[in-house]
């Protein structure tokens, strides 16, 4: 219970830390989600926009090529979470995807490794497309109306609430319908 509700107004600016592109378009996570989609990255200009949004957090993904030093340690995990979608940069060249097929193939490749590290990489690439797998939310409700959900079908195995019967799963449900990767039984074993 809040003892002094008048004090809450002083913390209103903190609401930018949780939200979506619709409610908090200036939040870092929102900028990354909007910039680092397969739709936006069809062109070189879109790739550069994603790179610009990701620059402050490149260490979270091991640099632009994924081979650099990482700073995504436990103490920085929450800060790095806002840059999850930047991992798509590892699957596109500077000219962009150039076609929907190339974009879909990049997501398919990112989600083809079912090791713990591979699942985490897939989860990061799929971050902007979460709305594609939510039963009670349309992507336009969260400011992601331009996302091409068809490019992200291979992400379906990450979500319990996946609406596509070809990719849905009934494995352990974590927060917001996502798999809880810290649960050692996440594969239903």
Residue 78 has what pLDDT? 82
Rounded to an integer, what distance in angstroms lies between the CA atom of residue 126 and that of residue 128? 6
The structure's pTM equals 0.71
Closest CA to 91 of 104, 72, 77: 104
Contacts 24+ apart (CB under 8 A), 104-110: 104/38, 104/150, 104/151, 104/153, 104/154, 106/38, 107/38, 107/151, 107/152, 107/154, 107/155, 108/154, 110/154
DSSP 3-state of 28: helix
Residue 189 has what pLDDT? 37
Residue 22 has what pLDDT? 62
Residue 171 has what pLDDT? 34
Contact present, 81 and 66 (Cβ < 8 Å): no
DSSP assignment letter at 159: B
DSSP assignment letter at 22: T
Q: Which residues of the chain fall short of a pLDDT of 50?
A: 1, 165, 167-189
């Amino acid at each position: 219970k809040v003892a002094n509700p008048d004090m809450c107004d002083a913390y209103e600016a903190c609401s930018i830390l949780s939200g979506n592109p619709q409610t908090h378009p200036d939040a870092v996570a929102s900028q990354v989600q909007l910039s680092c989609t397969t739709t936006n990255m069809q062109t070189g200009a879109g790739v550069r926009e994603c790179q610009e949004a990701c620059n402050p957090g490149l260490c979270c993904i091991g640099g632009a090529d994924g081979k650099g030093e990482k700073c995504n340690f436990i103490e920085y995990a929450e800060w790095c979470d806002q840059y999850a979608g930047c991992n798509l940069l590892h699957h596109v060249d500077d000219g962009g995807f150039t076609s929907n097929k190339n974009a879909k193939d990049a997501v398919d490749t990112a989600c083809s490794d079912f090791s713990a590290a591979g699942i985490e990489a897939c989860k990061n690439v799929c971050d902007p497309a979460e709305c594609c797998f939510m039963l009670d939310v349309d992507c336009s409700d969260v400011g992601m109306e331009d996302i091409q959900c068809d490019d992200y079908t291979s992400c379906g195995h990450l979500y319990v609430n996946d609406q596509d019967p070809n990719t849905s799963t009934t494995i352990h449900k974590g927060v917001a319908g996502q798999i809880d990767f810290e649960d050692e039984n996440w594969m239903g074993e």
